[in-house]
Structure 1
Amino acid sequence: MSASFATTRWTLVLAAHDSDALKSEAALAELCHTYWQPLYAHARRHPLPPADAEDAVQGFFARLLRLESLADAERTRGRFRAFLLGSFNHYLADLRDHARAEKRGAHLLTPLDTQAAETAFAQTPSSDLPPDRAFDRAWALALLARVTTSLRDEHIATNRTALFDALSPHLAGRRADIAHADLAAKLNMTEPAIRVALHRLRQRYRQLLRAEIAHTVARDSDIDDELRLLLASLAL
């Protein structure tokens, strides 16, 4: 087992199945906090009304605690995104078959901000987006949000919050679109210093993005393919 396995999302799944209740609760809460919005978007496209979609997500994460197969989960299962979506699809099929919402153990989960998720869902460009595509798009947005938050936290820790807040809107911009002189005046820096700072910010963003994706794939060689797929989902 590689040392990097300790940071993968598979580790969270294994920990959610741990016999230690506190460890299990913490892992399940982190899984839910990180991935519930993509699953919610997927459920809403099936379509389920908001309350039923929330119940489905809660019940799905609660079920993870009871799946004996998770005890043998290994990174070789492949992409965590595909695993989670496939498992959730099976769960939704079970809900339809049994006409019930399974919420045993849902008290272990962190509170869900359904209003925020519903707002994001309503802003999806196409109301005809298939459930799996809605999941991929929401997954990509959640991933980018986590990367941006991590990058901002790094700047907060080094007392560079103002620099990040000024430059972050230009992370994805083209050089010709950026008013370097305005930014330089705002931050009391020279234009060359602004260009260097923006270059470093984008470089660090790419590093964090690739690291985040690396947590969810089986091999480093899968990172580029996963990145292309997720960026393509944002163009929908």
Structure 2
Amino acid sequence: MPPFATTRWSLIESTRDVPDVARVALEQLCRDYRPPVLAFVRRSGYSPADADDLTQEFFADFIERGWYTHADPARGRFRALLLTALRRFLSAQRAREHALKRGGGLHAIELDEAIAGTDQGPEQAFARSWVLTVLDHAVQRLREEWLLAGKSDQFDRLIEYIDGGADDEGFRTLAQHLQVRRNTLSVQLHRMRQRLRELVRIELMQTVGSHEALAQELAELRDAAGLTLGD
């Protein structure tokens, strides 16, 4: 098996003694994976406005505290570290809210009350949003590749069938519109799906430290989010 490529996650570990470099890599990962954190906070009982503010506050705290010094891609994954830090942050936040509540101030929504009656708890919402974020990044990279190849219009039409939900008549009509044989279009779609699976792995590699961790990440995200990632 080829050696694991240098990624943003492994870069953080290798540049611990160069804080500016490690911080830039960490900030990029935080920007990329803001949606799952926001989903977790929302499912923890906060209003959209409060959740947005808390998400910003969390990332500022996460970066300022130098969490890159705790990064060990050989033993863990960025998703696990981020989730651990987020749990601790919200626990401290709830403690502050309870203190204010006892003093007659802010009314805090209890975690159990917030989750009751919802289909997803915070951790499942976090995992599902993580998967959607990974897929979105991979699709954007795939779109850029097709754009460079001068096939942006074909991509925009073909991507609608990426999940296998195409009906025969609609696919045949698309082939006629693009003036290609149906079998040719089927081959293009197959290759698109294969490339998307590759890009999903490339995206996840930015957040794990080994091929073994990548396999574990794929398995856990499939189970936790109930969504399909590349096989």
Gaps (5+ residues) in structure 2?
A: 99-116
Distance change (3 Å), C-alpha of 1:224 and 1:3 = closer
Retained in 1: the 8 A contact 2:4–2:210?
A: no
Q: Percent identity?
A: 32
- Given that residues 8 and 206 in structure 2 are in contact (C-alpha distance below 8 angstroms), is that contact kept between their aligned partners in structure 1? yes
Q: How far 1:196 sits from its partner (Å)?
A: 1.4
Q: Distance in 1 between matches of 2:14 and 2:53?
A: 23
Alignment-derived partner of residue 33 in structure 2 = 35
Instruction: After TM superposition, give the deviation of residue 17 of structure 1 in Å.
Output: 9.5
Among 159, 180, 189, the alignment partner of 1:189 is 180
1:131 and 2:122 aligned: yes
Cα drift, residue 200 of structure 1 = 0.9
User: How far did 1:177 drift?
Assistant: 5.2
Are 2:74 and 1:83 aligned?
A: no
- Aligned ranges for residues 197-208 of structure 1 at < 5 Å? 197-208=188-199
Q: Which runs of 5+ in 1 are unaligned?
A: 101-125
Match of 2:6, SS state, is helix
What letter corresponds to residue 166 of structure 1 in structure 2?
R
For the 8 Å contact 2:40–2:126, the answer to whether it is kept is yes
- State the SS of the aligned residue for 1:77: coil
**Larger Cα-atom Rg:** 2
CA contact (8 A) 1:10 1:80 kept: no
Shift of residue 167, structure 1, vs aligned partner? 1.0
Q: Deviations over 1:108-159 (max 9, x none)?
A: xxxxxxxxxxxxxxxxxx8331111110011111111111111001111111
Preserved contact between residue 143 and residue 212 of structure 1 (Cα < 8 Å): yes
Structure 1 SS opposite 2:139:
helix
CA–CA distance in structure 2, aligned partners of residues 59 and 144 of structure 1 = 26
Query: How far apart in 2 are the matches of 1:16 and 1:168?
Result: 40
**Higher relative contact order by CA 8 Å / sep ≥ 6: 1 or 2?**
2
* Range with greater deviation from structure 2 (9-18 or 23-32): 9-18
List aligned pairs for 1:1-236, cutoff 5 A.
4=4, 6-11=6-11, 19-20=19-20, 26-27=24-25, 29-68=27-66, 70-71=68-69, 73-99=71-97, 127-173=118-164, 179-235=170-226
Matched-pair contact (CA < 8 Å) for 1:181–1:191? yes
**Preserved contact between residue 10 and residue 209 of structure 2 (Cα < 8 Å):** no
- CA deviations on 1:63-96 (whole Å, 9 max, x unpaired) are 1233255335221231221111111101111222
| Cα-to-partner distance string for 1:206-227 (whole Å, 9 max, x where unaligned) | 1111221222223212333322
Q: Distance in 1 between matches of 2:215 and 2:135?
A: 15
Letter in 1 for 2:45: P
TM-score normalized by the length of structure 1 = 0.75
Q: Aligned residue for 1:113?
A: none
Deviations 1:22-61 (A, max 9, x none): x577545423321111101101111112222112211121
Deviations 1:164-191 (CA, angstroms, capped at 9, x unpaired): 1111111110676574421211111112
Alpha-carbon contact 1:137-1:233 (below 8 Å) kept: yes
Question: How many equivalent pairs are there?
Answer: 208
